[in-house]
Structure 1
Amino acid sequence: MLGFQTRGLGSPRLLLPWLLLPALWAAGRGQLRYAVPEEAQHGTFVGRLAQDLGLELAELVPRLFRVASKERGELLEVNVQNGILFVNARVDREELCGRSAECSLHLEVIVDRPLRVFHVEVEVEDINDNAPEFPLKEQKLLISESKQPESRFPLEGASDADTGENAALVYTLSPNEHFSLESPTTSKQTKRLSLVLKKPLDREKAPEFNLLLTATDGGKPALTGTAQLVVRVLDVNDNDPEFDQLEYRVKLTENTPEGTLVIKLNATDRDEGINREVTYALLSVKPSGRRLFTLDEKSGEIRVNGTLDYEENNFHEIEVQATDKGTPPMAGHCTVWIEILDTNDNSPHIEVNSLSFSVPEDAEPGTVIALVSVSDRDAGANGQVSCSLPPHLPFKLASTFRNYYSLVLDSALDREATAGYQVVVTARDGGSPPRWATASVWVEVADVNDNAPVFAQAEYTVSVRENNAPGAHICTVSARDADAQENARVSYALVERRVGERALSSLVSVHAQSGRVHALQPLDHEELALLQFQVSARDAGAPARGSNASLQLFVLDENDNAPALLGPAGGGARSHALARSAGAGHVLTKVRALDADSGYNAWLAYELQPAAAGARSPFRVGLYTGEISTTRALDEADAPRQRLVVLVRDHGEPALTATATLLVSLVDGAPSPKLSARASAGRVGAEASPLDVNASLMVAICAVSGLLVLTLLLWGALRCCGAARSEGACAPGKPVLVCSSAVGSWSSCRQRRPGLCSADGPPKADLMAFSPGLTPNLDREDERERQDSGSNHAGQVSFPI
């Protein structure tokens, strides 16, 4: 046989299935059965699997002893060390097998060398872990009150997921006198769980029953489940409608308005649903038989349907029937007695005919506005009517004929104070008690153009920084007109004038509708520091009315001018000769510069640029005077030619600078007459020109400062008069006025005035005035005093902000 397999199949691997057939046949003959309760904990012992299969413990691992199953194999596991089968995960019988009576797990135990397969069946035993459960927690039953005792009504029973005795259910019902419970029995399998009526029902006494149905299983311990039974008793039509009273008595005055409620009847039926729905019907009205009254068939309301007249009939009898909607219908009856009382039953009647819809506010007193007529159908004193108007109205009633009046204007009108009047005319008769009636007419006051536009401020003070962008918004003026419609439509315009050689309209403009003021071109503080002009506001009335507002525009300075050097230093390098014998503090020359800006932007400081690396310059420059002097005695180590670069910087943000270059030649002994004369001439020329310039500058600065202070004082006085603050207006501030002393130093003096504000930034609270340049001798003395005091910053000024 082996030879045949080798020759026929040609490969040893094809012999393996034939060799394993005896082993597989032997393994299929054995089968073990175990039992384990559901919900067993992890590690619960099931059985000694290896021992029961006849396997040695020592050969379990070498022979690859294992459990294989496709059916929830993770629930059970085997210990390959001792061959014990144990619970590996929670076992839920209801989850595995549902309500099946039999529930088992089938395992395959496999060992190799030789291969053997054992079949193991583990039965999962049921425990009472599931309580009975009703499909509905609340069951509703509808039972008619006409049902006879012993009537049965099926109920939905409970179900238990367990099996056997654990699923055997017993039902109980909460105690009551009307119902009992009939449970299914094993002898009658087709019989259902039913509710049995024991006693007749009466819906009017007990319309609903709430019962508790309990199901108990046969487990130990027993588990229960409950369901709520709601029994509603259905009504039958066994009660008549009943009125609150058999007779009703009502008193009405004659001429009661049609539709007036006389009485609301109420009939009740103790049944429910359609059996208690009641409709009302009017059977008869005596003695006249006329339909003077109506009855609402649903609400039972009796209302007046005609004119009640005491002189014609002073008593009425009404028969009413109430019928329910049951089958067959049932009815009840009542009687309503109505007594008519005589009174002053006619009220005055007023008619108002308006002659015009509106009255101009400039109408003259005595103008007729409307015609009023009154009437009363009564006679005697009950028919005599008098008319009146409310007090404090600019109108009066003038009698023109009997029961005819004219509504006329009594005093002047003002639409801005009151746009219209609701005039109520009251007519009262002479009856007892009197009756009256009212009629109203709306009198509209038409507008005339009697008010000119009024600006929010008589004077606007605003500021804008120079070099503004063309079209920049400066401020907005606003005027209001108390009139209406076209008379209140305001338009704005500039009051044209000349500003120097230019027209005002070339500098600023105002939007005709919004009142927004714009700068048409960049403004220059150095050219125009203050611009005063007027804006007019005119309405669209006929004739038009207008008013003007003044606007002061301060152009705030920007640091847009660099320092300009005066004298030869402005055009190139200056040459100077200095003897080496000059001592410390010797003044060589003075650099002068001028800045076209103002305030901080024109405050100049001088700095000497550092010399070459490692070199120590023997010169210094006054921080604010510009004097160049020696800091020490000259010696042979100093270079014969010195190049000094002086940086002139203003205090603007950002600062602008200029530089002056000086070439200094160091000579031994006194300089040659020619060089000295040239130097002296150069100094005289250099000094003469700044003196003249400083004198002019001093006069100009004093004049501008005086004009500015005067303007600010006038502006402050006007502001104190109570001008309203608006867009573009500024809040008061605490400025600091910086004044110059006689020796060129700085002092600060404070004064209170309204602050200025810029269109694009917060208001500045400081005003600076600079002193003119002083003579060289005074500058030198001041510099020497500062050197003697040992401070290099004695000329420095602090500007509080």
Structure 2
Amino acid sequence: MFIFHQCYCGYFVLDIDLYESEPLITTFDKGSNYLLGAELKYQNGQWEVYITKKQDYEVQTMRNYVFWISKGSDSYSIGLYIDNIDDNAPIIQPPERSCAIKENYEGRSNCTYQVSDADGWVDQVVITLTSSVKEDIKRFYILSEKINEYEVKVYLGINKPLDFETISMYMLYINATDNSNITGTLTTILEVIDMPDESPKWARLTASETLKEKSTHTFIVTAVDGDIQINAEINYKIQVLNKDEEDYFNVDISTGVVTINPIDRDTLKKDVFRFVIIAFEKKDISSIANATIVVIIEDINDHEPEILPEMLSITIKEGKYTTLEFEQPVMITDPDLAENAQYSVHLTDDSDYNWHSAFLIVPNTGYQNTYFTISVSDALLLDYEDENWRNIKIEIQATEVGNQSHVGRRIVSIDLENLNDEFPIFENNSLTVSISEDVGNNYYICTILATDRDVNDTVKHSILGQKGFKINESTGVITTALDDSIHLDYESMSVIILQVIAIDLANHTTYATLIINVIDVNDVPPKLYLPTSKASLLEELPINSSIDYKIQTTDPDSDAKLIFSIDWDSTTALKNSVEVDTSYYSRHLNIVTNYPKKQTGYAEGYVSISRRIDYEALDVIFLTVVVTDLNTVHNANSTLGTIFLHVKLTY
């Protein structure tokens, strides 16, 4: 007996005498050589039986053979048995083409698969499961139940509920692998059965609708059943947020056609409305979907600006900057929107006097409801003394931006109250005059007169803070007020500024300026400045030579002309402390006058030699120097000084 593993071919050796005749395969008691394909071959000194056809244990007629080999007169019975090996792939078969499981279900399902292996050992087959949705593979598991040695029943289980709305169909791949690592595969479809667990879903919905005020508007909303396979019938209703708005919104219960009835935005003073649209399943009113719809009402320009109150009348004081305080504030209203409610505001009038130019209205623009203020912008125009301005009528005009033919108008009546409001006015509020510094008391200078436009008003004049002058309080005549202690002096004050004050009965005060230029009169003696050092003089110096000794003089008078000279009558000379005869020194010296500053109000003098000076005749000279202002009108014109000259011997 020979045992062969399942294979395509094989051989076994026959122990037959080599020197006898060739053996032959004759008859088969079991099986057939058609299935076995046995052949005899002589190799390497022995006969071998070769199996030339593949044997398959799973084919019942191939599991064993009995046949005869004849050699000469001898016959041999050969028994051949095929050994079973694991060479067939497991087979997975579903009872149905597809499997269906309800969404939200957990546990073992009714989806089953039969796994079989013709080789047997089915309990050693490893069964695995994968999904087309990789991340969802943990939703599934499998259970195996052995039927017999060749068959196993597999159940599909659900770990985590399925959701039809997320994934309605899975592609599952079931793999069965035997001990020889041969795998059988089944691709199957798992359908998720939709269950009534979803509320309606909006298929057509608007977040907002815009319409003109006072118009009818319709639009459609559509919702479908969130459970697509069930597709329940959907109805509609509206829930308003404000009961007062119930009549504005309605919806057809079946078609979802929403109707918005005319809304007067201006009356309601509201341009944004909201309501809730609700979709629900007809057979399950608890299954709903809702959404808030915003309704925006667009303004139509159906109003023009209106100015309130209807009567605007006031009395104000003349010449005063003030705000016009009416019994009710001025308000302009236009209930429209955007540029339809914007307006510009200005004042006007139809008089010849341009009354409105004295007033200002603020602001100059407005929107919807805006309060305005009228104030006086030019109080000088509000003059009761001008009869044309005593009773004023101006007009407020509000012109709409969106439509300039929309103009609101209101007349404002303004009466002026008479006041003592005028200030004194000088004919000339700044005047310049010139007078000599030597004028006397009560000398007329000028007239500075202020007048007042107010009826029966009186103006009084005065001078502020300056002695030496007086003013007639009625006529404005200004004269000098001088005495021994008060006089004009060009040298101490060449310009005098007077402030003239005019005040009326209401204490309105006005100022004028009088500038008095004091004309210089030459009346101040010159000043002489002698050096503090002693002067020395060498005897026998050449004629016209000068000594190094500078004498200075100044005079504040503007036209001063200074010149030096020597008073020989008061000049003396000594020799050894004994006075000498004038013949030794008189006219022997001279003083030269220089003007280094190019003006004759300042001079410098230098002593020069005009005749011989002899030390043996004198050694000291007391020289009297005289400086004289040649243009002096009043007072002394000269100043004297003595110079001590020390005469030195020449060796």
Short-chain TM bin = 0.3 to 0.5
With the length of structure 2 as denominator, give the TM-score of the two structures: 0.45
With the length of structure 1 as denominator, give the TM-score of the two structures: 0.37
Q: Which has the higher helix share?
A: 1
Q: Which has the higher strand share?
A: 2
